[in-house]
């Protein structure tokens, strides 16, 4: 990426959103093992810091992906719970339905993301979990200099956590951008106390249905407006 930033600048790119870069066991990296370390497949924390600095020199802002709804199976607190069970200091960091942690008839005895055993759901109502994740948010902004966050499956995390998250992020950088992934109507998250914007999937699906699949049509008034609207060409 660092070697190709000039090419991106030529294309007019002014922001880069990275899918997860933290250490994880999968290719997609949505099963975080270490929230404070860049996955060795991508480089190091210092490499990312250099990338952010070079991006800023070209007027490019950088967003990282915050996977705070769930961790990975190799996340140290979850490993501790697997090993020590109810005696673990981290037992309340997760949503355990039944001890011990195991898979019964293909279903984990603990809550996960999308029924995936390697992605245990974090208990963000636990003050210790909230404090930990907020420190993660602060670290990458203060130490690495990123410009904002894209929040994975944000609708599955409680609103109060996101309110505290916003306060933390805006304290680190008032101009930071907070983008939530919401699969449906997002108004509860856009009241000024949580996100700046969302990934607008309903609009995306509507455009695809109209332009590619022919499943929907524009109202007649809009079609007339589109035909009559002048087209401004770049000079």
In a domain, 220, yes or no: yes
Q: Say if 192 falls within a structural domain.
A: yes
The whole domain housing 51 covers 2-69+124-228
Q: Please state the rounded mean pLDDT for residues 209-225.
A: 69
- pLDDT tens, 134-170? 999 999 999 999 999 999 999 999 999 999 999 999 9
Mean pLDDT within 26-50: 98
**Residue 220 has what pLDDT?**
54
Q: Nearest 5 degrees, angle CA 183-CA 14-CA 226?
A: 60
Contact present, 189 and 162 (Cβ < 8 Å): yes
| Domain CATH code at residue 19 | 3.20.20.80
Q: Is residue 235 part of a domain?
A: no
Is the residue at 109 inside a domain? no
The neighbour count for residue 30, using CB atoms within 10 Å, is 23
Residue 58 dihedral angles phi and psi, to the nearest 5°: -105, 10
Residue 187 lies in a domain: yes
Residue 32 has what pLDDT?
98
Mean pLDDT, rounded, for 20-30? 97
Please confirm, yes or no, whether 181 is among the known catalytic residues.
yes
Is 14 inside any structural domain?
Answer: yes
**Is a pLDDT exceeding 60 seen at residue 231?**
no
Catalytic choice (23, 31, 147, 181): 181
How many separate domains does the chain show? 1
Which of the following is catalytic: 142, 147, 152, 175?
152
152 as an active site residue: the answer is: yes
> What HEC string does 203-219 produce?
HHHHHHHHHHHCCCCCC
Give 170-185 pLDDT, tens digit per residue: 999 999 999 999 988 8
The answer to whether 17 and 65 are in contact (CB under 8 A) is yes
């Amino acid at each position: 990426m660092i070697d190709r930033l000039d090419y991106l600048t030529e294309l007019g790119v002014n922001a880069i959103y990275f899918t997860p870069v933290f250490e994880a066991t999968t290719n997609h990296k949505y099963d975080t093992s270490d929230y404070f370390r860049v996955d060795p497949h991508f480089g190091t924390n210092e490499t990312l810091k250099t990338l952010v600095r070079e991006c800023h020199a070209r007027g490019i802002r950088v967003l990282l992906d915050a996977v705070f709804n769930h961790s990975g199976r190799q996340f140290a607190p979850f490993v501790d719970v697997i090993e020590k069970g109810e005696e673990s200091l981290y037992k309340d960091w997760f949503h355990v339905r039944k001890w011990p942690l195991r898979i019964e008839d293909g279903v984990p005895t603990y809550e996960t993301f999308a029924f995936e055993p390697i992605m245990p759901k974090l208990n963000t109502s636990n003050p210790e979990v909230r404090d930990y994740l907020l420190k993660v948010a602060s670290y990458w902004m203060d130490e690495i200099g990123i410009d904002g966050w894209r929040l994975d499956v944000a609708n599955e995390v409680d609103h109060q956590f996101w309110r505290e998250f916003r306060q933390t992020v805006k304290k680190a950088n008032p101009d930071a951008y907070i983008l939530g992934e919401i699969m449906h109507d997002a108004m509860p998250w856009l009241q000024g106390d949580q996100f700046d914007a969302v990934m607008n999937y309903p609009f995306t699906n509507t455009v695809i249905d109209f332009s590619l699949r022919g499943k929907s049509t524009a109202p007649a008034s809009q079609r007339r407006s589109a035909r009559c609207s002048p087209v401004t060409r770049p000079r």
